[in-house]
Amino acid sequence: MITPVILSGGSGTRLWPLSRKLYPKQFISLVNETTLFQDTILRLPEGISEPLIICNEEHRFLAAEQLRQIDKKPKGIILESEGRNTAPAIALAALHELNNNHDSILFVLSADHIIKDINSFHQSIEIANELAEEDKLVTFGIFPNKPETAYGYIEVSNTNPSNDYFNIKSFTEKPNQKNAKKYLDSGNYLWNSGMFMFKASVYLNELEKFEPEILSACKKSCTTENIDSDFIRIDNDAFHQCPNESIDYAVMEHTNNGVVVPLDANWSDVGSWSSLWDVKTKDNNDNVSEGDVVLENVKNTFTYSSNRLVSVIGVSNLVIVDTQDALLVTDKQQIHNIKKIVKRLQNDKRSEVKSHRKVFRPWGYYDSVDSGEDFQVKRIVVNSGAKLSLQKHKYRAEHWVVVKGVALVTCGDKIFELVENQSTYIPQGSLHRLENHQDIPLEIIEIQTGSYLGEDDIIRLKDDYSRN
């Protein structure tokens, strides 16, 4: 039985400001109405196991909610408190399967790829499955159509397209333009897709040969698995001791059992604004525009607006991305420097690198409408049947005004309902909770006042979502 293993821990910094640490690109609808994460699961062939998700602790509710939206139940969601790269993540999946007496064939996928030719994709899976049954470690390679510098490359013995698979000669990291062209012209290189297939036991045996420290740390982290609904929690202290290594470096470069199955399925990893521009429908001037956008005498430009009118005049070869709290304008040839901007924002502890103005929570979301010295205004939406934690704050008081629905409010020793246009005051230090028992979303305006208004000023006493 094939078990899909969906790696969804990436941060997608090259797609900032749309992709943020708490809401990365795999959970965003970039191409379809569904997200990249959802697309990854929906294009899987029938007759295989439910997916096993490897996810950052901070994204667990995003993953769970997006699975619920497409009516897919996971085999489990393994939580990493800290990403240690792909080799340890896959080891966690393999150990989980073997610990449950399943020597499954693991089909390892990134949650942020685009694959348009589903039939070809499924055909390649069938070929890879047969090879994995023979104890091969399979990676999937993409026939290059340009000298791309954003992808790693796999050198193979012979790239005759009639072959079902090729032997691996070497792995090469992202090359410069000169080497990328050389690889393309040689005909002996494929793009490294970052997708793999092998038996759980075979992978762990090879990992023990070449990186025993990784396997040892992962085994220790799995000895105290804690099942919390669909969430699988590991020993974080043990996992933090694990070497940070990719599967390519840890196993695939060293094994004698590695092979490449070519994948000709219109694949992209949408790792940058340029690659997203490549897969989008363009106008007669090679422009891509999304949202409320007006163009005049513009060529070869990507323009995105999340919430307001953006007018662009007389430019070319730009990327313009306008979100509620950040604007990016860059020449296409300079998009590689977005990571430098993100690094500067991190160093300055800017919130724009971590989250959007709209922040999703397991109970719904809030939108930070306005803020100033000693005050902050939020629009809070609580899903039907959901409730916030029973909590209190050291430094702030709150005013709640109901604008839609019916709120069940706990404040101190009082429990009462508020309907539309009614309000209440939550004094600083008071124990309180907000609940929605209705069939429609609850919407309130929250005005916070106090000397400190950070999200870490929350002391939770009871929480349905097992948060600290």
pLDDT score for 396: 97
pLDDT score for 226: 75
pLDDT score for 239: 93
For residue 461, the number of C-alpha atoms closer than 13 Å in the C-beta half-sphere is 11
pLDDT score for 343: 95
The pairing of strands 364-372 and 459-462 is unpaired
Cβ(359)–Cβ(365) under 8 Å? yes
pLDDT score for 121: 96
pLDDT score for 269: 87
- Using the structure block, give the residue that is written with the tokens 């199955």: 261
pLDDT score for 414: 96
Strand-pair partners of 450: 396
Backbone φ and ψ for 108, nearest 5 degrees, come out as -90, 125
For the chain, list residues with pLDDT below 70: 159-162, 225
Sheet strand arrangement including 396-404: 358-361, 364-372, 375-382, 442-450, 396-404, 423-426
Domains and CATH numbers, the chain: 2-267 (3.90.550.10), 273-341 (no CATH), 358-462 (2.60.120.10)
For residue 153, the number of C-alpha atoms closer than 13 Å in the C-beta half-sphere is 27
pLDDT score for 160: 63
The contacts found for 127-135 with CB under 8 angstroms, 24 or more apart, are: 127/164, 127/165, 127/261, 128/197, 128/261, 129/2, 129/105, 129/197, 131/165, 131/197, 131/259, 131/261, 132/105, 132/197, 132/198, 132/199, 132/202, 133/105, 133/199, 135/198, 135/199, 135/202, 135/257
